[in-house]
Amino acid sequence: MKILLTGFESFGGETVNPSWQAALKTAEKIDFAEVLTVCLPVEYYKSVEIAIKAVDDFCPDAVLLTGQAGGRTCVSFENIAVNIADSDTPDNAGKALHTVNFTGGPDRLFSSLPLKEMVDAVNKIGLPAYISQNAGRFVCNHVFYGVLKHISDNNLNIKAGFAHVPFIPAQTVNKPEKPSMSLENITESMFAALAVLR
């Protein structure tokens, strides 16, 4: 079995991105599959290009894309990617988009990962997790949609989805009102979820 696991570089003034840190640590724990980890840039179209190239070159059985969602309390598994970018926040290339992600694409695409089973697996190790119906309108949703569209357009037999991770404690030192989760618990959550695919 082969799993493609991605995270993002830091953005928005942060010096770390827990999605990438957790992707690396999760890959180290996985002994039931060959894992490729890829750090994506926080740039709309470049992130999709790199993710799709990894899909085509590595030919994984499953893809879990991950990103940071500061303000969330635990790992959340996204169900829906929408064909719209609508955020005033610029990406790391300085681009803010208010448009469809891919002209002619369907309004929404759905994760093909077994989300309920993944959440149940995380809960069984004593950690919270949930299925989210809102992947946002920023780069995370953009790459989620782009990868799902590529898989659908090319009839690839690949299960794919997206998970958002919260801040880690070091990121909330100056914003104590924001929730956080330890990198260890984020990693354990991602490992438990991916173990469902064995």
As annotated, the active-site residues are: 78, 140, 164
Nearest to 165 by CA among 100, 102, 75: 75
39: which strand partners?
Answer: 7
Asked if 74 and 130 count as a contact pair (C-beta separation under 8 A), the reply is yes
3-state secondary structure of 81: strand
Please compute, for residue 3, the number of CA atoms within 13 A of its CA located in the half-sphere on the CB side: 27
Cβ atoms within 10 Å, residue 113:
23
Degrees, nearest 5: CA angle 7-61-65: 15
Q: Residue ranges of the alpha helices (H) in 80-138?
A: 115-124
